[in-house]
Structure 1
Amino acid sequence: MQPLAYRMRPRTINEIVGQQHLVGPGKIINRMVKAKLLSSMILYGPPGTGKTSIASAIAGSTKYAFRILNAATDSKKDLQIVAEEAKLSGTVILLLDEIHRLDKTKQDFLLPHLENGNIILIGATTENPYININPAIRSRTQIFEVTPLAPGDIKQAILTAIDDKQRGLGELPIKIDEVALNFVSESTNGDLRSALNAVELAAKSTSPDSEGTIHLTLEIIEECLQKRALTQDKDGDGHYDVISAFQKSIRGSDTDAALHYMARLLESGDLQSVIRRLLIIAYEDVGLANPPVCQRTVSAVTAAEHVGLPEARIPLANAVIELCVSPKSNSAMVAIDNALTDIQSGHIGEVPDHLRDAHYKGAKALGHGIDYKYPHDYDNDWVPQQYLPDLLKKAQYFDAKGNSNFEQKIRDQYKTLKKAQNSGH
């Protein structure tokens, strides 16, 4: 009767879905397991992203005993039982869920066991550990962030679960439509637990058709997820079409269209796509024309992440409306892309000698840093000197558009400095 998500937990780190920045070959947790040099850690990130899975996989890979407790609901006595087990049988890996709610009494009991290595603590939390976890625990742990899984990772995990005859649904004659698979992979916002639970409910509550096949359609998956595929079409591309229309509506300053497309994304539960896209839009399409709205967009996105849906719609709506009515400029994006074009084309050149690092023995003999002019020693803390390599000393990447008073000031100052710089050589 255990849920599919529980049964499909990875047994070793090689079976972990996603989080390759931590468990992939050569990455930190993979190295710890390979060297059998585990240290206590805190894993923080959204629900369903693999914190418990990573802990159980570490235990499975190292063959250490594995215990799970909850910092909020389990008592000091429960911790004492784990500590006694560690004394008798050796190292125990303890997954402590909701570690941000660990009180001082339990903490004081736990700390000596962390220091002597009897207990390898893996704390799990959805809260920011740098803010919500006691410094005494933080100082004895490494902190790793886990991120929402990509749709491709979730899709592969679902297919694995459908095929697995021992732990998964492989004994059932399941056929899942591609559009349904794409929908459950994309609309669960990186939460693999929710995706697997929905697929299991769909599979076990759907009667076989005339050919004996359990056919999972988009409509069945929608019902089991309780989300409507408003952003899907029969080819699975509609989701990305709506995201594209969302950005283009803001770029085109159509407030009502932007709110419409954001509402479609939010109604389908795709909060993460809205958040990612708004951050991109703020700096790509508004940018230097209105820097304060970029900062306020970051604040709105942060608030939305904290409160979640449905309340997240409120700060996000504020950001969308302000982005729409704001003046627009992509001059910063164009500037960095112009610079990257030179780099990618091989137009790089040598760093001028007077700008090179002079903080080592022998630098002077090489002529490094000798003729550098320290701007703060001059009037207005500025002095003309060459900064670009000789090959690129005439390059100009930035072309401000002047679509707002702020950007006009930036453009004028840029041109003034550039003219003075060029005339000074």
Structure 2
Amino acid sequence: MRPKDIDEIVGQRHLVGEGKIIRRMVQAKLLSSMILYGPPGTGKTSIASAIAGSTKYAFRILNAATDSKKELEQVALEAKMSGTVILMLDEIHRLTKPKQDFLLPLLESGKIILIGATTENPYISINPAIRSRTQIFEVQKLSEEDIKTAINRALQDDERGLGKYHVVLDDDAMIHLARATNGDLRSALNGLELAVMSTPTDESNHVHVTLEIIEECIQKKALTHDKDGDAHYDVISAFQKSIRGSDTNAALHYMARLLEAGDLISVMRRLLTIAYEDIGLANPPACSRTVSAVLAAERLGLPEARIPLADAVIELCISPKSNSGIQAIDAALDDIRKGHGGEVPNHLKDAHYKGAEKLGHGTSYKYPHDYPHDWVKQQYLPDSLLDRTYYVPKENGRYEQALKQQYSALQNSRWRK
């Protein structure tokens, strides 16, 4: 079911949608080497395949970890003999220096258009020499609707999909398949294929795939057998609200339901959100420890992941709460979205270019570290927003109490036009 051209790509509209960067490259036939990074099963190889299909260039797939330099040489020879080749290089973060040195001149000449794929952050894991010769695009996790679209295509396609099996997929089975695979289309299609191929036909020559069959084929239990599929989100909502409400036992209960359904990813993502949204400045060390717990859970996987996550949940429940951080940034964003920007004061403008001094940019800026206590009174907000206050501190934890005291002192002595 891999897409044959760019129009068949599921999701990733920020890259392949109308007017977006990769579609523009394909339409203009001005392809450049790129690195696609993001979670597994989100379409990195599919994008590369679709680009090749849309441009009619030869397409080859290699793995940086397992394929040798000899395979790279064969692709290079093909490019020399027959023209440009699009090379999909999986796990590009594991590219060795000899392979990299061999590839660099080929990228420079345009003989090979490299499309690297990785689940790692390329700004950290990929050699700067490769990064400087590629554009880097983040591939996002597919939504449930994206997964459902791909499943329906597979069920209807007689040639490449499962159309000839006359599959009847129950609504709750579809919801669970799209949701429990957490945006990984490969896992969803693999689970669907196993379900169809291992289920006998009924009297009407149809393959009837139920929720129970999907649960078995993807090895993840549904939270409940509700047709609308709301129960999953209800449990996640109850999980956050229980922590926000400081009910430790309820929070542990709802997390247990999510973990039993195999939804480790939702638990980890929601815990990180809760830590900074609901606890925040009332107890910053708890936020840091939550990050550490999530990292440990990622390394451990289930069932051991339940241990650091339980510790984090208990601490967040018992911790003092504050949402002053999210309220502050949302208030600032609200101003920006309403057009309340204002001109940056001249003394704060960039002064690192020729002619800036003549424009008065940065000339009257006072460097705080040159003054007692590393602070000096001067204007920072635009004139039109001088009296704006976004951060309103709370007093639910010792840390934010101390912040409030310092913040109030600074506010009382800050610049007034």
Same fold (TM over 0.5): yes
- The alpha-carbon deviation at position 375 of structure 1 amounts to 4.8
Counterpart AA for 1:222 = E
Instruction: Verify the 8 A CA contact 2:345 2:379 in the aligned structure 1.
Output: no
1:200 has 2:171 as partner: no
CA distance in 1, matches of 2:366, 2:109: 54
Give the match for residue 291 of structure 1: 284
CA distance in 1, matches of 2:80, 2:152: 42
CA distance in 2, matches of 1:210, 1:292: 62
CA distance in 1, matches of 2:75, 2:152: 36
- The alpha-carbon deviation at position 341 of structure 1 amounts to 4.7
Spell out, residue by residue over 1:5-62, the C-alpha distance to the aligned partner (whole angstroms, 9 max, x if none).
xxx1011112111222222223322222222222222222222111211111111011
Give the match for residue 240 of structure 2: 247
Give the match for residue 260 of structure 1: 253
Give the match for residue 5 of structure 1: none
CA distance in 1, matches of 2:100, 2:350: 49
Q: 1:264 to 1:345 in 2, by over 3 A?
A: same
1:146 has 2:139 as partner: yes
Q: 1:292 to 1:116 in 2, by over 3 A?
A: same
1:66 has 2:59 as partner: yes
Which aligned pairs between 1:240-389 and structure 2 lie closer than 5 A?
Answer: 240-342=233-335, 348=340, 350-351=342-343, 357=349, 375=368, 378-385=371-378, 387-388=380-381
Q: 1:73 to 1:375 in 2, by over 3 A?
A: closer
Instruction: Verify the 8 A CA contact 1:183 1:232 in the aligned structure 2.
Output: no
- The alpha-carbon deviation at position 309 of structure 1 amounts to 4.0
Give the match for residue 43 of structure 1: 36
- The alpha-carbon deviation at position 234 of structure 1 amounts to 3.2
Spell out, residue by residue over 1:272-326, the C-alpha distance to the aligned partner (whole angstroms, 9 max, x if none).
2222211211111001101122223233334444554444434433322322222
Q: 1:156 aligns with which of 149, 152, 164?
A: 149
Q: Residue 106 of structure 1 aligns to a residue in which SS?
A: helix
- The alpha-carbon deviation at position 82 of structure 1 amounts to 1.6
1:112 has 2:105 as partner: yes
Instruction: Verify the 8 A CA contact 1:304 1:311 in the aligned structure 2.
Output: yes
Counterpart AA for 2:98 = T
Instruction: Verify the 8 A CA contact 1:231 1:265 in the aligned structure 2.
Output: no
Unaligned runs of 5+ in 1: 1-7
CA distance in 1, matches of 2:151, 2:356: 58
Q: 1:226 aligns with which of 211, 219, 222?
A: 219
Give the match for residue 103 of structure 1: 96
Counterpart AA for 1:227 = K
Instruction: Verify the 8 A CA contact 2:171 2:227 in the aligned structure 1.
Output: no
**Stretch of structure 1 that moved more, 90-99 or 267-276:** 267-276
Q: 2:73 aligns with which of 68, 72, 80?
A: 80
Q: Percent identity?
A: 70
CA distance in 2, matches of 1:406, 1:130: 34
CA distance in 1, matches of 2:54, 2:252: 48
CA distance in 1, matches of 2:305, 2:26: 39
CA distance in 1, matches of 2:358, 2:217: 73
Q: 2:180 aligns with which of 164, 167, 187?
A: 187
Instruction: Verify the 8 A CA contact 1:279 1:298 in the aligned structure 2.
Output: yes
Q: 1:21 to 1:304 in 2, by over 3 A?
A: farther
CA distance in 1, matches of 2:101, 2:383: 62
Give the match for residue 4 of structure 1: none
Counterpart AA for 1:151 = E
Counterpart AA for 1:205 = S
CA distance in 1, matches of 2:247, 2:154: 44
Spell out, residue by residue over 1:135-193, the C-alpha distance to the aligned partner (whole angstroms, 9 max, x if none).
44333333333232111111111111112222222223222222111111010011101
Counterpart AA for 1:76 = K
How many pairs were matched up?
Answer: 416
Spell out, residue by residue over 1:90-109, the C-alpha distance to the aligned partner (whole angstroms, 9 max, x if none).
11112222233333333333
CA distance in 2, matches of 1:349, 1:100: 41
Q: Residue 68 of structure 1 aligns to a residue in which SS?
A: strand
Instruction: Verify the 8 A CA contact 1:188 1:269 in the aligned structure 2.
Output: no
Instruction: Verify the 8 A CA contact 1:189 1:271 in the aligned structure 2.
Output: no
TM-score relative to the length of structure 1:
0.87
Give the match for residue 126 of structure 2: 133
- The alpha-carbon deviation at position 73 of structure 1 amounts to 2.7
Q: 1:355 to 1:73 in 2, by over 3 A?
A: closer
Q: 2:48 aligns with which of 55, 71, 82?
A: 55
